[in-house]
Amino acid sequence: MKRRSLFITALLIVALFSMTIPVAASTPADITIVALMQPQPDDPTAPFSGTFVASGPAVDAGILCENGTIQDIANPAVGWQSDQIIKLYVHKHFMCNDGSGSFEMDMQVLISPKGTPARWVITTGDGIYARLFGSGGLTATWLDENTLQDTYFGKLHIE
């Protein structure tokens, strides 16, 4: 009888630890991120770096921090189809100033005579951003010869 009781207790413990507790996902919320990026002064071909400021309902809901630093990790250009179309792929690393974590994003930019459509998607994160998901579009504007302003707009949520 004692063995049977021990066996049932062991089964209950295994069942308890194997249960997954559902985590409530946040509702996708609008985000706007404005990043000011500069080239490395000693190597203009090196990845850009700078700062960002985030605003909108995603920040208000605590899904994303308000500001931090940003670094291009990779930015290969491919294409040059008919000397008119360039596809630019950029992988960026965002680190929040408040210590809450960091996240990474992939961008795809098509530069052509018909315009420059661009998209971004969150690829990974750490800290409170380990389960951050989102995507959207962006615009890029040169403010002067040394400062590029990227404006990201879209939706973010925590899963």
CATH number at residue 120: 2.40.350
Task: Give a yes or no: residue 43 inside a domain.
Answer: yes
What is the enclosing helix (H) or strand (E) of 71?
strand 67-74
Q: Please tell me the distance from the alpha carbon of residue 48 to that of residue 71, in angstroms, as a whole number.
A: 6
Task: Give a yes or no: residue 92 inside a domain.
Answer: yes
pLDDT for the residue 140? 84
| Average pLDDT over all residues of the chain | 81
Q: Which of 101, 92, 46, 55 is nearest to 70 (CA)?
A: 92
Task: Give a yes or no: residue 5 inside a domain.
Answer: no
Task: Give a yes or no: residue 30 inside a domain.
Answer: yes
Residue 95 CB neighbours (<10 A):
17
pLDDT for the residue 86? 74
Task: Give a yes or no: residue 3 inside a domain.
Answer: no
pLDDT for the residue 82? 63
Task: Give a yes or no: residue 15 inside a domain.
Answer: no
* Domain ranges, residue 45: 23-158
Say what the alpha-carbon torsion angle 119, 124, 126, 132 is, to the nearest 10 degrees: 60
What is the enclosing helix (H) or strand (E) of 16?
helix 2-18
Residue 103 CB neighbours (<10 A):
25
Q: How many domains does the chain have?
A: 1
Task: Give a yes or no: residue 134 inside a domain.
Answer: yes
pLDDT for the residue 11? 38
Task: Give a yes or no: residue 10 inside a domain.
Answer: no
